Amino acid sequence: MLVLTAGAEENGAMIGLNDIEVARRRLRGVALRTPLVPCPRGEEGRALYFKPESLQPTGAFKLRGAYNKISSLSLEERGRGVVAHSSGNHAQAVAYAARALGTRAVIVMPRGAPRVKLDATADLGAEVVLVGPDSAERVRKAEELAAEHGYVPVPPYDDEVLIAGQGTIGPEILEDLPDVESVLVPVSGGGLISGISAAIKLTRPEVRVIGVEPELAADARASLKSGRLVEFPADQVARTVADGLRVQRLGKAPFEHVRAFVDDIVAVKEEEILEAMRRLALRVRLVAEPSGAVTFAAHLFHREELPSSRLTVAVISGGNVEPGLLAEVLSGSNLEDAREAATR
C-alpha cells in the first residue's frame, strides 16, 4: 500500500551552478574524476557510456557529497564529530571523509546491511551503531545521538550541500561527452539524481535526465507522477536486492529538484537488475552492486520507456557488492539464491 505524505509543499532550497563549482574545488584531489567507459557491442546509432562511480576510493559516488558536506563545517563543528545514518555507501563515505578531515564519525546502520559495507565502515575508523531495517528507525537513532552528544548530522541525501557534491558528476559528463542526449541515474533518497539533474539542466536543458529504481522501491516514480511525496512500506522496499535503493521515500529537498529537473523515472524488475550486473561484469569488466546496475537494466530491458537517444550515459553509482552475491550472479543463479547470498 502506498502512503501519501505531506512535505511537497515545504520547498527545500535549490542548488545552483555556483554551489556545484564550489564543491568541485573542494573535491579536487579527493574524489576521482571517473571516466566514461563505452559499452562494447553497442548498437549503431545508440551508443551507451558508463560513468563508473564504483571506482571511487569508497566504491561509490557518496564520497562526493559526504566530503563536500563535512569540509564545509566550521572547525568547532568538526570538533564535535558527525553522525550519519546509512545502509552502507553513505556510511563508508562519511567515515572516509571524517578520517581525512580529522573528525569523529558515528554511523547508524541496519543490522541487515551487507557485511562488506559494515566492515568497510568500521575499518575506516567510524563507530557503527546497529538498528533494524526500517529507514525511519535509522533517522530517529541518528537524531537521538546528535541531540545527546552534539554531533553534527550528515544526512544521506536531504541536504543541499551534499546534493551539490553529488552534482559534480554532471559537469564531468558534459565535459567528457558534450553531445550527450540522455543520462540515466539511480534513485534512492534522491541526492544523486538531484545534483546531476540540476547540473545538467542548468547548463544543457535539452539533455534528458531519467531516474531508475527497482519496482519494489519505486516511490520516486510514484511521487513524480502524483506531484506529492509517496512513501513505500519498509517491508516491501526491504525485498529488493538493490540494498542501496531501499529508501522508503524521497527527501524533501531532493523531491523539489526531481520535480524541477528530472524528465521521467523508470522502474526495473529484480531479475533485470541481476542480469545487468552479470553483463557489466562479463562484458564491460565493471563490478557493480545491484543499486549501481539499475541504469543498465533500464537500457537493456525498458527501451520503450526511454528517450530515443544517439548518446546515452548510464551512471553506475557503486560497486560494493557482497562476494557471495556476485558469485551467484556470475553463475547465473536464480533470484532467490541471489537474495540468500546477499544476506549471508
Which residues have C-beta within 8 Å of that of residue 290, sequence separation ≥ 6?
240, 241, 242, 243, 244, 245, 273, 274, 277, 321, 325, 342
pLDDT of residue 4 exceeding 60: no
Given the residues 54, 71, 309, 317, the one annotated as active site: 317
Interatomic CA distance for residues 174 and 180, integer angstroms: 7
Give the chain's domain count. Answer: 2
For residues 174-197, average pLDDT: 97
Q: Are residues 34 and 96 in the same domain?
A: no
pLDDT of residue 294 exceeding 80: yes
Query: Pick from 98, 124, 157: which residue ends a domain?
Result: 157
Given the residues 51, 54, 62, 141, the one annotated as active site: 62
Query: Pick from 139, 157, 175: which residue ends a domain?
Result: 157
Q: Are residues 259 and 236 in the same domain?
A: yes
Q: Which of 190, 201, 246 is nearest to 223 (CA)?
A: 190
Residue 339 has what pLDDT? 61
For residues 26-38, average pLDDT: 97
CATH number at residue 88: 3.40.50.1100
Q: Catalytic annotation on 317? A: yes
pLDDT of residue 297 exceeding 60: yes
pLDDT of residue 2 exceeding 60: no
Q: Are residues 7 and 100 in the same domain?
A: no
pLDDT of residue 73 exceeding 70: yes
Query: Pick from 102, 123, 157: which residue ends a domain?
Result: 157
Q: Are residues 234 and 324 in the same domain?
A: yes
pLDDT in tens, 140-150: 999 999 999 99
pLDDT of residue 11 exceeding 70: no
Q: Catalytic annotation on 269? A: no
pLDDT of residue 70 exceeding 70: yes
Residue 10 has what pLDDT? 42
Q: Which of 248, 159, 183, 191 is nearest to 60 (CA)?
A: 191
Q: Are residues 231 and 102 in the same domain?
A: no
Q: Which of 246, 260, 65, 69 is nearest to 168 (CA)?
A: 65
For residues 31-45, average pLDDT: 90
Q: Are residues 268 and 337 in the same domain?
A: yes
The strand pairing partners of 128, in sequence order, are: 107
Distance of alpha carbon 101 from its chain centroid, rounded?
23
| Full residue range of the structural domain in which residue 263 is found | 3-60+161-342
pLDDT in tens, 231-257: 999 889 989 999 989 888 999 999 999
